[in-house]
């Protein structure tokens, strides 16, 4: 716990930063100070919770008259937050349970004054001299609060448009406020409070929250490395533990997917952005919390049953039309082939199949097929507009555009995942259909450029085109948050096919080398103005965005794993530091942090759906993963240091390996992976093509279980 620093990454390079948030793992109540930016010396208030990661704050409380105040002496941990306000010398402290929060306010004057407000439309009331009840509207649903002050208070109520404010004051030193949150009713919020914080005891709740975090973070123990590396690692593990969020309350939950209250014997989880999380976060949680992962997967099944569409971005208020792809499919497949089976695979399959064939693939849109989807189904790629050509389909989002390259590539991978689920369910016709669709990415590979390139509806390559830069704001006419250099490598289900199209391993390795060396070709400020998500560039490689995560590991499929080892160490050292600016892009609620956890441990799930992991370069001399089964998987990296970053020898459970990958079952069964590290590349290890990690279109994941 002492190694977690929630302020890491609070100052972003361009877009949304991290927050010093207090919460328990996967819990409804999440709190952080509201400021105009993380370097502002004033706090505007404290939300009672948030609706989703980077979503709306719900209700606020603030000392004084409710206006922003300068602060100092901030203490930020996963389980506790405090700050002192300079002028009044008053202090705000906070800790939490799963569905409840607990504030403690201290004033040296002996009188505490504060304001409790709605953020948007709602209602607040105070009765019996110390009890607060209220509700707040957001995104076509409501949040409810029931809270108790620790002593009698006096109050006045005011209205500011749709907002209501309770101006509260009390004499006699400290004033505590413990409250329950609900998405069902005020009565349920009261029940949540009675179950989780039935009476006063701030220090007791704080200690329990700390113990919960020590248990969660203690599932991985590390030895060696530097103090800074341990801070980076455990802070990343803390951020990988926020989502999904369990919104079940006494066996019931409100679903934004059909706007009803349901009773269920299993917990219901929301708040997931699969475009960001299917690559690393969900695979990490599959190792650490397989039972909870099954509940999360079954929650997605419930969402489909209730709303009729399998979501990708599933927030508390329902399915969110965001980004592109059908990425619940690889999540279901990855979990299944790693032995997580306690979910309804048949209904899950029905949902992802329907999403692929009957719903639109267009970015930032949910709904039925469009003529562009019919074109995709017939021709195997999404067509691009030529430069200057006006959009004719109203279903295309004006800012997000068509994004034909990532849409084609992403859905090729998703359909490959569906094909393997069809095989499990003995649906040969579907398996053939989706495996054929999995090859669609090949339709956009331009051999003379050795890159993924957009085509128009007539099958002609878009010209002129600068794949580094062209395509409207963010390149969205042709790509999305990244340019053509990144998306050329976004074919995790068939690297073997991509390498073959490039002309073999030697040519592909040269191309991959050049990705990290290729200049921007323009001033950095000009590039970032168009690609604000594509930050922390190494040549044309963007460390700050999720589609890049697997790229350094592709060297393992080219017979040069020592380059993977060198690149990963360089990227971790350069961009993931224990500072306010220690995150290279949008962290996205664990999406990027899980990449850090995996890579610092020394392995990574390159292709979700194939239950194997590539070995990289552990930064610690020993890592122990404590599994829920009671077994442990140990990674020993002998002599690992900043200089000794190259793997010389691999031994798994006493048996030498000539390959640089291992299976998920090796983790589940428990055991020891021993790596001998050195300061010089071992260019023989992992160089035999027969021992490359499985990466071809026709790989059967079941063969690696």
Specify whether 202 is located in the same domain as 231: no
In the listed set 158, 187, 217, which residue is the last one of a domain according to the structure?
217
- Which tokens sit at 684? 């023989």
Specify whether 194 is located in the same domain as 238: no
In a domain, 366, yes or no: yes
Q: pLDDT value at position 668?
A: 98
Q: What are phi and psi of 620, to 5 degrees?
A: -105, 155
Average pLDDT over residues 230-248: 98
CA 237 to CA 21: how far, in whole Å? 14
Q: Where are the beta strands (DSSP E) in 433-497?
A: 445-446, 451-452
CATH number of the domain residue 64 falls in? 2.70.98.10
Specify whether 294 is located in the same domain as 255: yes
> What global pTM score does this model have?
0.98
Q: In Å, how far are 290, 438, 518, 553 from 414, measured between CA atoms?
A: 22, 8, 30, 20
Q: What percent of the chain has pLDDT over 70?
A: 100
Q: pLDDT value at position 162?
A: 84
Query: What pLDDT, in 10s, does the model give residues 136-151?
Result: 999 999 999 999 999 9
Sequence-ordered list of residues with C-beta below 8 angstroms from that of 218, at least 6 positions apart, any chain:
626
In a domain, 283, yes or no: yes
pLDDT-derived band of residue 119, with 50, 70 and 90 as boundaries?
confident
Does 647 have pLDDT greater than 90? Answer: yes
Distance between first and last Cα of the chain: 34
Does 472 have pLDDT greater than 80? Answer: no
Query: Which range is least confidently modeled, 158-167, 230-239, 433-442, 543-552?
Result: 158-167
**Whether 637 contacts 257, CB under 8 Å:** no
Rounded (10°) angle between helices 428-437 and 404-424: 160
Specify whether 540 is located in the same domain as 683: yes
pLDDT-derived band of residue 172, with 50, 70 and 90 as boundaries?
confident
Average pLDDT over residues 46-75: 96
Q: pLDDT value at position 374?
A: 98
**Whether 51 contacts 316, CB under 8 Å:** yes
Task: Name the residue among 289, 291, 282 with its Cα closest to residue 332.
Answer: 282
Specify whether 181 is located in the same domain as 66: yes
In the listed set 173, 190, 217, which residue is the last one of a domain according to the structure?
217
In the listed set 198, 217, 236, which residue is the last one of a domain according to the structure?
217
Specify whether 598 is located in the same domain as 511: yes
Q: pLDDT value at position 474?
A: 77
In a domain, 438, yes or no: yes
In a domain, 524, yes or no: yes
Query: What pLDDT, in 10s, does the model give residues 656-683?
Result: 999 999 999 999 999 999 999 999 999 9
Specify whether 150 is located in the same domain as 116: yes
Specify whether 240 is located in the same domain as 160: no
CA 245 from centre of chain: 12
Q: pLDDT value at position 120?
A: 86
Specify whether 337 is located in the same domain as 266: yes
Task: Name the residue among 586, 514, 497, 488 with its Cα closest to residue 543.
Answer: 586
Return the C-alpha torsion angle 627, 629, 630, 633, nearest 10: -40
Q: In what order do the strands lie in the sheet with 272-273?
A: 272-273, 313-315, 318-320
In a domain, 340, yes or no: yes
CA 682 to CA 680: how far, in whole Å? 6
Long-range residue pairs from 688-692, CB within 8 A, at least 24 positions apart, any chain: 688/559, 688/658, 688/659, 689/505, 689/559, 691/658, 691/659, 692/556, 692/557, 692/559, 692/659
CA 604 to CA 660: how far, in whole Å? 11
CA 83 to CA 22: how far, in whole Å? 13
Specify whether 262 is located in the same domain as 181: no
Over the chain, what is the mean pLDDT? 96
Query: What pLDDT, in 10s, does the model give residues 276-311?
Result: 999 999 999 999 999 999 999 999 999 999 999 999
Average pLDDT over residues 164-193: 96
Does 171 have pLDDT greater than 80? Answer: yes
Residue 519: burial class (beta carbons within 10 Å; 0-12, 13-18, 19+): exposed
In a domain, 10, yes or no: no
In a domain, 31, yes or no: no
Q: Which domain holds residue 106?
A: 42-217
- Which tokens sit at 307? 């709303």
Specify whether 681 is located in the same domain as 556: yes
3-class DSSP assignment, residue 410: helix
**Whether 30 contacts 46, CB under 8 Å:** no
CA 401 to CA 385: how far, in whole Å? 10
Specify whether 236 is located in the same domain as 203: no
Does 550 have pLDDT greater than 80? Answer: yes
pLDDT-derived band of residue 627, with 50, 70 and 90 as boundaries?
very high
In a domain, 506, yes or no: yes
CATH number of the domain residue 438 falls in? 1.50.10
Structurally, how many domains does the chain consist of? 2
């Amino acid at each position: 716990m002492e190694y977690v620093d929630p302020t890491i990454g609070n100052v972003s390079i361009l877009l949304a930063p991290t927050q010093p948030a207090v919460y328990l793992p996967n819990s409804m109540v999440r709190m952080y100070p509201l400021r105009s930016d993380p370097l502002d010396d004033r706090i505007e208030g404290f939300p009672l919770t948030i609706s989703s990661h980077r979503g709306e704050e719900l209700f606020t409380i603030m000392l004084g008259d409710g206006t922003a105040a300068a602060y100092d002496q901030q203490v930020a941990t996963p389980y506790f937050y405090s700050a002192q306000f300079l002028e009044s010398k008053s202090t705000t402290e906070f800790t939490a349970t799963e569905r409840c929060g607990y504030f403690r306010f201290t004033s040296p004057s002996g009188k505490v004054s504060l304001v409790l407000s709605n953020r948007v439309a709602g209602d607040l009331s105070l009765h019996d001299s110390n009890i607060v009840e209220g509700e707040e509207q957001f995104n076509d649903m409501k949040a409810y609060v029931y809270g108790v002050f620790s002593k009698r208070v006096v109050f006045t109520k005011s209205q500011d448009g749709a907002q209501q404010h309770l101006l509260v004051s009390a004499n006699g030193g400290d004033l505590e406020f413990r409250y329950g949150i609900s998405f069902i009713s005020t009565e349920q919020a009261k029940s949540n409070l009675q179950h989780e914080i039935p009476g006063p005891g701030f220090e007791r709740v704080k200690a329990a929250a700390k113990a919960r975090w020590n248990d969660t973070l203690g599932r991985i123990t590390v030895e060696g490395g530097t103090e800074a590396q341990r801070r980076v690692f455990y802070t990343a593990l803390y951020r990988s533990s926020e989502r999904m969020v369990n919104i079940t309350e006494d066996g019931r939950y409100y679903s934004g997917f059909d706007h009803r209250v349901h009773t269920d014997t299993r917990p219901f989880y929301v708040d997931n952005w699969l475009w960001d999380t299917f690559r690393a976060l969900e695979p990490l949680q599959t190792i650490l919390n397989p039972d909870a992962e099954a509940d999360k997967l079954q929650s997605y099944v419930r969402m489909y049953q209730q709303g009729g569409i399998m979501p990708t971005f599933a927030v508390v208020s329902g399915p969110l039309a965001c980004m592109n792809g059908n990425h619940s499919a690889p999540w279901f497949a990855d979990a299944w082939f790693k032995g997580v089976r306690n979910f309804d695979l048949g209904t899950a399959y029905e949902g992802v199949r329907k999403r692929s064939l009957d719903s639109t693939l267009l970015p930032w849109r949910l709904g039925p097929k469009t003529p562009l989807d019919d074109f995709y189904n017939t021709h195997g790629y999404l067509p691009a507009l030529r430069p200057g050509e006006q959009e004719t389909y109203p279903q295309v989002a004006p800012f997000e555009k068509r994004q034909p390259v990532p849409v084609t590539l992403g859905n090729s991978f998703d359909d490959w995942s569906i094909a393997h689920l069809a095989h499990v369910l003995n649906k040969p016709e579907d398996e053939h259909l989706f495996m054929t669709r999995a090859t669609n990415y090949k339709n956009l590979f331009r051999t003379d450029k050795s890159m993924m390139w957009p085509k128009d509806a007539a099958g002609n390559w878009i010209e002129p085109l600068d794949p580094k830069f062209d395509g409207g704001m963010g390149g969205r006419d042709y790509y999305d948050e990244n340019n053509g250099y990144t998306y050329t490598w976004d074919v995790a289900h068939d690297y073997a096919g991509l390498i073959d199209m490039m002309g073999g391993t030697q040519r592909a390795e040269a191309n991959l080398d050049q990705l990290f060396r290729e200049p921007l070709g323009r001033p950095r400020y000009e590039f970032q103005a168009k690609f604000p998500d594509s930050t922390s560039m190494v040549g044309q490689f963007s460390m700050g965005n999720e589609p890049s995560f697997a790229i350094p590991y592709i060297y393992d499929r080219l017979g040069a794993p020592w380059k993977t080892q060198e690149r990963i160490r360089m990227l971790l050292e350069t961009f993931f530091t224990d500072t306010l600016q220690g995150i290279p892009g949008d962290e996205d609620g664990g999406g990027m942090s899980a990449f850090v956890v995996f890579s610092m441990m020394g392995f990574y799930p390159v292709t979700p759906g194939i239950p194997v992991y590539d070995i990289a370069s552990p930064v610690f001399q020993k890592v122990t993963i404590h599994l829920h089964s009671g077994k442990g998987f140990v990674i020993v990296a002998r002599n690992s240091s900043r200089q000794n970053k190259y793997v010389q020898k691999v031994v798994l459970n006493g048996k030498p390996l000539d390959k640089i990958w291992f299976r998920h079952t090796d983790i589940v069964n428990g055991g020891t992976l021993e790596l001998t590290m050195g300061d010089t590349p071992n260019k023989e290890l992992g160089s035999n093509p027969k021992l490359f990690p499985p990466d071809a279109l026709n790989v059967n994941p079941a063969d690696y279980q």
